[in-house]
Amino acid sequence: PAMALPEGAAQFKLVLIGEGGVGKTTFVKRVLTGDYTKHYDATIGAEMRQLPFYTNRGPIVFNVWDTAGQEKYAGLRDGYYLKAQACIIMFDLTARGSYLMVPEWHKRISRIAADIPTVLVGNKVDVKERMVKARQIRYHRRVGIPYFDISAKTNYNAVRPFLKIACILARDESLRFTEAPVLLPAEFQLNEEQKRALEADRVAADAAPLPEGD
Ligand code: GDP
Ligand code: MG
């Protein structure tokens, strides 16, 4: 059921990019607030979902673009990136190759939409056999963008990338949601101890000096 978009909301095109299989589609489908009618663009081969978020500075709508799978084969058309105003680059914490491709994805978006608010996320943090350790995730520091561990399956940090992008767009770090976004129920939960350990690892990794030429 399509919902009416909030009146007077600022709208932004947000593109979701990263290797096939990292969890992009799973992630975007978790946010239930808004127009779940997806708009399919056949020439670009992508779906767009309108996700409204309610903030203390008014409603904001992200027109979130997700590929129909072309990233696995042919690559994405320029039209996918064209006029993008925000970007989430996702990799899979259980697949090292997907992290190694992050600079390439960042280059692709920057070529067409330079200097837009961009957030890096490592998905599937719920999986025990993690292949990319917190200390190995440094690309965001080199280029000065935010990073979050997330888990689409448990909803861990699932709305933080959207909130962060809204803060950057509004140039207001104290921006907050006035209504919690509605998410699909978590398939399972990380316990509080696991969450604390993840957060501590991230803080320690971001405080460690950057190795030369990395
Ligand atoms: P996409 O190709 O980037 O759109 O990736 P998909 O959303 O199709 O997900 C690829 C696979 O990863 C699917 O089998 C998902 O169920 C799985 N997946 C996605 N997110 C998570 C997650 O947070 N945790 C785990 N364990 N699996 C996930
Ligand atoms: Mg997909």
The pLDDT tens digits of the residues spanning 71-95 come to 998 889 999 999 999 999 999 999 9
**For position 193, what pLDDT does the model report?**
97
Q: How far apart are CA 211 and CA 162, in angstroms?
A: 30
Whether residue 20 contacts residue 71, with contact meaning beta carbons closer than 8 Å, is answered with yes
- The reported pTM is 0.96
CB 35 within 8 A of CB 50: yes
* Cα 205 from Cα 214, distance rounded (Å): 14
Residue 147 has pLDDT above 70, yes or no: yes
Rounded Cα–Cα distance for residues 35 and 68 (Å): 18
Q: Is it the case that residue 140 has pLDDT exceeding 60? A: yes
Which ligand places an atom closest to the C-alpha of 20? 1
Q: What whole-number distance in Å separates Cα of residue 182 and Cα of residue 195? A: 21
Torsion of CA 133, 87, 73, 44, to 10 degrees: 170
Give phi and psi for 168, each to the nearest 5.
Answer: -65, -45
Is residue 71 within 6 Å of ligand 1 at its C-beta? no
Query: Tell me, what's the pLDDT at 5?
Result: 77
Q: Which of 26, 38, 99 is the pocket-test mutation for ligand 1 (most atoms within 8 Å of CB)?
A: 26
Å from CA of 211 to ligand 1 middle: 31
CA distances from 161 to 16, 164, 181 (A): 11, 5, 12
pLDDT greater at residue 38 or residue 98 = 98
Query: In the prediction, which pLDDT does 54 show?
Result: 94
- Quote the Cα angle for 109-113-116, to 5°: 95
* Mean pLDDT for all residues in the chain: 94
Q: Using the predicted structure, report yes or no on whether residue 197 has a pLDDT greater than 80.
A: yes
The interface predicted TM-score of the complex, written ipTM, equals 0.99
- The phi, psi pair for 126, rounded to 5°, reads -70, -20
Query: Token pair of 88, please?
Result: 């989430």
